[in-house]
Structure 1
Amino acid sequence: MSEAPESGPAPVADSPFERLRRHTWLSPTEWRRRILFWTGAVLVGVAAVFFAKAADFAFDLFRSVTSHGWWVPLLITPATFALLCWLTQGAMKATRGSGIPQAMASLDVEDEDFRARLLSLKIAVGKMALTLGALLGGASVGREGPTVHVGAGLLYSLGRRFGFDEPAAAGRFILAGSAAGLAAAFNTPLAGVVFAIEEMSGTFEHRMSGTLLTAVIVAGVVSLGILGNYAYFGEIAASLPLGKTWIAVVLTGLVGGTAGGLFARLILPSAKGFRGGVARLRAYNPVLFAAACGLGLVLLSMAGNTSLYGTGYAQARDILQGHSDTGPLFGALKFLGNIAASWAGIPGGIFSPALAVGAGLGGNIAHLLPGADPSAVVLLGMAAYLAGVTQAPLTAAVISLELTANRQMALPIMAACLLARVVSALICRVPVYRALANQLIAQYKDECAQRRIAGAEGNP
């Protein structure tokens, strides 16, 4: 009769304390990460509020100075464009433009040096200061994209400082900071979440949903606590009942998508055709070219007898509320003014200026539809043009609804945004932020390849 095999030592049962420690929710590391997220979100909210107040002050100062004569912008604006271009030639190059492409590129490339170059605290502070300088000089730029950049930089730097420098962990801080930045900039928490899903990451990790939501909520609460419960453009009680007036959805979708796609295509770099000529002029003397762009903005304002400076917030609000005197050419001229600022390569975003262009175009379409609510058509124009520029229809729709505290327009706005996105994609195949992010990534890969070649030649 064979003997039974000897059994090994009986496993020692885990204590309740050990089982609790292994639980994700109770993990000390996870709690440290959550506390950092929430602390960072508070910092982003405070920074966004400060940025908003400082931006208003800077632009009010510009308007005060330029009220002394029509000739004053001719001196201030081109000089400001040239100075900003010169300041961003070297180590501060990452502060150029909107800032959203920088955050997107940092999510895609899990390299610490690349991320630090785009999202360091120095870059975040510089982005804020130089964008304020652009508004002080009357540039047609916004602060929302830069706030996304600042938010990503603050949370990324905070995470690295406290040991969360592993690539995947750092990416979560970048994503949450970007979403919190947009939410605090517009006081639109839902738009912040949708923006993170649709524009920044393209996907939504289930395990990140709670952390991302809490970061956005905390940043929104900070903004709400300081500035109060407000809608960016005020509460707009517009509606568009089903029927003939829904032709406004088709018109705004087609016009917004066409204009938005054209804008995106014109500001993207290219070596061919008209854009190639612009790129060669800019490369020949960037500072002089930027000054010429500033002069072009001033001349456009003088030709249209309307202010194209700054974010365009006041004009968009007046058009939306039905008491504007900007004239029928405002949308087209603001469109050109935004291109001038983008070509100059100065720091500043395109969200608010895009809403102003959309408001102008929507106002023009409203005159063609006397039976429709003008405010409703203008709101459709704003949403459709923003969707055309960014090719992010959900973000554009949610932002437009939250900015006006309007829920009745949800279906027509979503329909116009989806149509605008389709039309825009026919003109500009790659969404503008994605294309600009890809350019940053390509430049970085070229630099790495050149360093490898130089290293190989130095060590045969």
Structure 2
Amino acid sequence: MTRLIKAKEFILWSLFALVIGFLAGILATCFGQILLWVGEIRSNYIFVLLPFLPLIGLVIVWLYQRYGGRASQGMSLVFKVGQGEKEEIPRRLIPLVIVTTWFTHLFGGSAGREGVAVQLGATLSYQLGKRFFSLQEQRRLIVIGMAAGFAGLFQTPLAATLFAMEVLVVGSLALSAMWPALIAAFVASQTAHFLGLEKFSHALMDAPVWTSDLFGTLLILGFLFGLCGNAFAWCLSQTKALLNQYFPNPYRRVLILGTVLSVLLLVGQGRYAGLGTNLIAASFSGQAIASYDWIFKLLLTVLTLAVGYQGGEVTPLFAIGSSLGVVLAPFFGLPLEFVAALGYASVFAAATSTFLGPILIGCEVFGFEHFPAFFLVCSLAFLLNRANSIYSGQKIRE
């Protein structure tokens, strides 16, 4: 009888994961395709649209003040529900975060997109799952949804699964969610791919031969990339705290600092607006990367998100890590693309306090033959300091 019950549960969770993966893949594709279209419009009319960034900031704040409610907590709410501290993710979170992220990108804000995908996947999984499963299964539901949303957008199902399993509580894997999360991630990834959402991947052709010197160099790089990721997370939390203190009125905050942000982005001629995929593409195509690109992208992304604009942090982290890698590579005599790829994954590891997901995203994007290098660099970046994370709701297992 016990085996029969377990078999029924296994089948039920598998079917649920299939549905969530399919729906999350569709939603991620719709969101992602429109975001790419929005980015093209911004790039073509950057000097026309950027001056309106503070005004659209007022619209974003009004939408959240008027309709947000608990949904205004965004990723923090997803974490609280996944950790069992809250019992509800409102459905309106999905349209709110999608529309306001489109607004942010259209008018030049420096932000990412994974936060939207993770939130929509988690909300979708929670809202559908609460009809069939008990509240004790909240963490599993959230992990499945996060994996599906992440995989649908980036089409890296293995990384998405491990990232979702480890991100809620640092040092604790949600192993009970592994199988359904894996199903949901693969289905979401394949659905998005079938519907035409682009995936970034790049084969590294000139990776160095392993030697003892290379081992030591990778340790140093892991340390440097770890510092960068932790700097991003620390700056984000500190900037949010300072702005809340000195600009408690969200409308005044977004109007004044949105104007400052608009001017800074205009001075940079829009190079640091949007996702940062231009910097990623430049890092892996031999185009010019300035020594200051990574720090400008870091600071402007921190300011964009701290002021109150919507989006995510992960794609900017990829851009920061890859452009920093291009800058560091000549000092160590290593191929530019190889170090850029290590930065792409390990800065993400340090800023999110995750370990397995970043290693696998490096492998899924750049090739599994480079697993030892990603493992070593991401390990050190992750271990450097787990106290700082871009996710304020993240817990650390003692």
Report the TM-score when normalising by structure 1: 0.78
The residue number in structure 2 matching 1:151 is: 121
Offset, 1:122: 1.3
1:226 equivalent in structure 2: 195
CA RMSD of aligned residues (A): 2.6
Does residue 180 (structure 1) correspond to residue 148 (structure 2)? The answer is yes
Aligned-residue sequence identity (percent) comes to 23
Shift of 1:55: 0.7
Counterparts of 1:37 and 1:379, CA distance in 2: 31
- Indicate yes or no: 2:26 matched with 1:46: yes
User: 2: distance between equivalents of 1:197 and 1:276?
Assistant: 28
User: Are 1:394 and 2:356 an aligned pair?
Assistant: yes
* Structure 2 residue aligned with 1:422: 383
1:279 to 238, 244, 260: 244
Match of 2:226 in 1: 257
**Cα distance between partner residues in 2 of 1:412 and 1:177:** 30
Q: Distance in 2 between matches of 1:286 and 1:192?
A: 33
Match of 1:333 in 2: 296
Measured at CA, do residues 421 and 80 of structure 1 come closer, stay the same or move farther in structure 2, by a change above 3 Å? same
Q: 1:172 to 1:421 in 2, by over 3 A?
A: closer
Secondary structure of the 1:120 match is coil
Distance 2:81 2:390 in 1: 16
Q: Does 1:89 align with 2:70?
A: no
Assess if the C-alpha contact under 8 Å between 2:143 and 2:177 holds in 1: no
Report the CA distance between 1:194 and its aligned residue: 0.8
Deviations 1:179-226 (A, max 9, x none): 111111110010011112221355445554332222222212212322
User: C-alpha separation between the residues in 2 aligned to 1:246 and 1:304?
Assistant: 37
Q: CA–CA distance in 1 between the matches of 2:380 and 2:205?
A: 24
Q: Within 1, Cα distance between the matches of 2:112 and 2:204?
A: 22
Secondary structure in 2 matching 1:23: helix
| Aligned residue in 2 for 1:361 | 324
CA distance in structure 2 between the aligned counterparts of 1:354 and 1:222, rounded to whole angstroms: 26
CA distance change for structure 1 residues 437 and 394 in 2, over 3 Å: closer, same or farther? closer
Determine if contact 1:260/1:388 at 8 Å carries over to the other structure. yes
CA distance in 2, matches of 1:171, 1:275: 27
For 2:393, give the aligned amino acid.
L
Partner amino acid for 2:339? V
Aligned pair count reads 393
Quote how far apart the aligned CAs of 1:312 are.
0.4
SS of the counterpart of 1:89?
helix
Aligned-partner residue type, residue 267 of structure 1 = L
- Secondary structure of 1:125's counterpart equals helix
1:429-448 correspondence to structure 2 within 5 Å: 429-433=387-391, 435-437=392-394
SS at match of 2:274: coil
Does 2:359 correspond to 1:384? no
Contact in 1 for aligned 2:166/2:174 (Cα 8 Å): no
- Cα distance between partner residues in 1 of 2:260 and 2:372: 39
Paired residues of 2:77 and 2:86 also in contact (CA < 8 A): no
Amino acid at match of 1:318: A
Contact 1:62 1:137 (C-alpha < 8 Å) held by counterparts = yes
Correspondence for 1:37 among 2, 17, 35: 17
Deviations 1:407-443 (A, max 9, x none): 2322122211121223333xxx24332x3357xxxxx
Match of 2:279 in 1: 315
Question: Secondary structure of the equivalent of 1:384?
Answer: helix
> 1:290 and 1:74 mapped to 2: Cα distance?
14
Aligned match of 2:5 in 21, 24, 45?
A: 24
Question: Does the CA contact (< 8 Å) of 2:110 and 2:273 recur in 1?
Answer: yes
Q: Whose Rg is larger?
A: 1
The counterpart of 1:211, out of the listed 180, 187, 197, is 180
How many Å apart are 1:349 and its aligned residue?
0.4
Distance 1:219 1:349, change over 3 A: same
Tell me the distance in 2 between the aligned counterparts of 1:88 and 1:246.
49
Residue aligning to 1:136: 106
Q: Quick check: 1:193 aligned with 2:161?
A: yes
Q: Distance in 2 between matches of 1:205 and 1:255?
A: 30
- 1:236, distance to aligned residue in structure 2 (A): 3.3
Q: Matched residues in 1 for 2:206 and 2:368: separation?
A: 9
Name the structure 2 match of 1:412: 373
Q: Which stretch shows the higher mean deviation, 326-335 or 196-205?
A: 196-205
Unaligned regions of 5+ residues in structure 1, if any?
Answer: 1-18, 439-460
Please tell me whether residue 108 in structure 1 is matched to residue 116 in structure 2: no
Specify the code of the residue in structure 2 equivalent to 1:135.
Answer: H
Partners of 1:299 and 1:126 in 2: CA distance: 27
In structure 2, give the amino acid aligned to 1:385: V
Q: Is the 8 A contact 1:191 1:399 kept in 2?
A: yes
Give the distance between the partners of 2:273 and 2:83, measured in 1 at CA: 34
- TM-aligned CA distance change 1:408 to 1:209, over 3 Å: closer
Using the TM superposition, give the Cα deviation of residue 337 of structure 1 relative to its aligned residue in structure 2, in angstroms.
0.8
Instruction: Give SS of 2:65's match.
Output: coil
Q: Secondary structure at the match of 2:187?
A: helix
CA contact (8 A) 2:234 2:389 kept: no
